[in-house]
């Protein structure tokens, strides 16, 4: 099915939104400095398969891709980005005639979805957290990296990314390298002032505290991969141990994420199943697949 693409204004920002599929709505956020287009090029998902199980609603976060942005780092804190995701979800829920949406995303998108669920859990039918980023004790080091990258962007603008975009750089076909390459290439067309503000906003951000997450009673799927310092397994496993309703934690290698799309589709089907059937399974510890 060909996606429906449109621009929609939410309060003070106009976001680029893409909609496809049929079923309960899944609102999806991308990674830091990414976009819908970057995720498509990285090839992490079979969206044609996912749309058989949900109304997939993807959007470019503020300052990213084809969406508006500001030059204020405060606007790019995860807590503020969550307001945008909830605004998209409210719009979709109204159009679909439902009260709740599944929220999910990759890296920054996962952090945004989690923050949105903490802010308004009554609007969230489920969570899909893919490659949860650094958090808590591992966040300060990553924040320092973002601040340094922000200073580099201030000095050189988009020039390094434009050069990278022109070079025929050989890259491994695994998901991690594909995501990194296409993210960098996408920055060749980004507004350098937006990039600086986004990186500074990311440096100001962190996950909600564990005491708060212990009370977040929302069905959750967590997908992670090995050997990625920006998305450490410690974050994924801590979330799996803390959140009350983790359906499963799947740990893959970046060279083989073929189980991600089926796991997402199965989780969406599980959420769509009659409530009595889901209640009969009871609460259980997450099934960890490696």
User: Sorting pLDDT into bands at 50, 70 and 90, what band is 289?
Assistant: low
Residues in contact with 287: Cβ distance below 8 Å, sequence separation at least 6, in sequence order: 247, 248, 249
Instruction: Give Cα separations from 272 to 53, 139, 170 (angstroms).
Output: 9, 35, 42
Q: What is the pLDDT of residue 281?
A: 46
pLDDT of 90 above 70: yes
Residue 4 phi, psi dihedral angles, 5° rounding: -90, 115
Question: In 10 A of CB 14, how many CB atoms?
Answer: 15
Residue written as tokens 């990759």?
106
CA distance 62 to 69: 5
CA distance 129 to 149: 25
Find the range with the poorest average confidence among 44-58, 140-154, 203-217.
140-154
Phi-psi region at 27: left, alpha or beta (left = phi > 0; alpha = psi -120 to 50): beta
pLDDT tens-digit map of 170-214: 667 788 889 988 898 888 888 999 999 999 999 999 999 999 999
Q: What is the pLDDT of residue 206?
A: 98
Q: What is the pLDDT of residue 167?
A: 61
User: Sorting pLDDT into bands at 50, 70 and 90, what band is 282?
Assistant: very low
CATH number of 4-276+284-289: 3.40.50.1820
Question: pTM, whole model, 2 decimals?
Answer: 0.91
């Amino acid at each position: 099915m060909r996606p429906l693409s449109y621009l929609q204004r939410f309060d003070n920002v106009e976001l680029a939104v893409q909609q496809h599929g049929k079923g309960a709505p899944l609102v999806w956020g991308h990674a830091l400095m990414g976009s819908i287009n970057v995720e498509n090029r990285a090839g992490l998902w079979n969206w044609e398969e996912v749309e058989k199980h949900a109304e997939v609603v993807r959007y470019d976060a503020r300052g990213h891709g084809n969406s508006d942005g500001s030059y204020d780092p405060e606007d790019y804190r995860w807590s503020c980005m969550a307001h945008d995701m909830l605004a998209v979800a409210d719009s979709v829920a109204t159009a679909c005639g439902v009260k709740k949406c599944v929220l999910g995303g990759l890296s920054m998108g996962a952090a945004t979805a989690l923050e949105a669920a903490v802010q308004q859990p009554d609007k969230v039918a489920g969570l899909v957290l893919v490659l949860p980023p650094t958090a808590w004790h591992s966040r300060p080091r990553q924040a320092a990296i973002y601040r340094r990258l922000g200073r580099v962007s201030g000095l050189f603008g988009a020039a390094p990314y434009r050069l990278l975009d022109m070079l025929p750089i050989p890259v491994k076909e695994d998901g991690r390298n594909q995501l990194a390459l296409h993210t960098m290439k996408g920055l060749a067309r980004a507004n350098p002032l937006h990039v600086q503000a986004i990186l500074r906003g990311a440096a100001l951000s962190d996950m909600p505290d564990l005491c708060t997450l212990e009370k977040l009673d929302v069905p959750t799927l967590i997908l992670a991969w090995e050997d990625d310092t920006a998305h450490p397994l410690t974050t994924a496993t801590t979330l799996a141990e803390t959140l009350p309703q983790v359906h499963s934690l799947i740990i893959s290698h970046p060279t083989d994420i073929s189980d991600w799309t089926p796991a997402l589709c199965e989780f969406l089907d599980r959420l769509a199943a009659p409530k009595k059937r889901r209640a009969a399974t009871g609460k259980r510890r997450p099934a960890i697949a490696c």
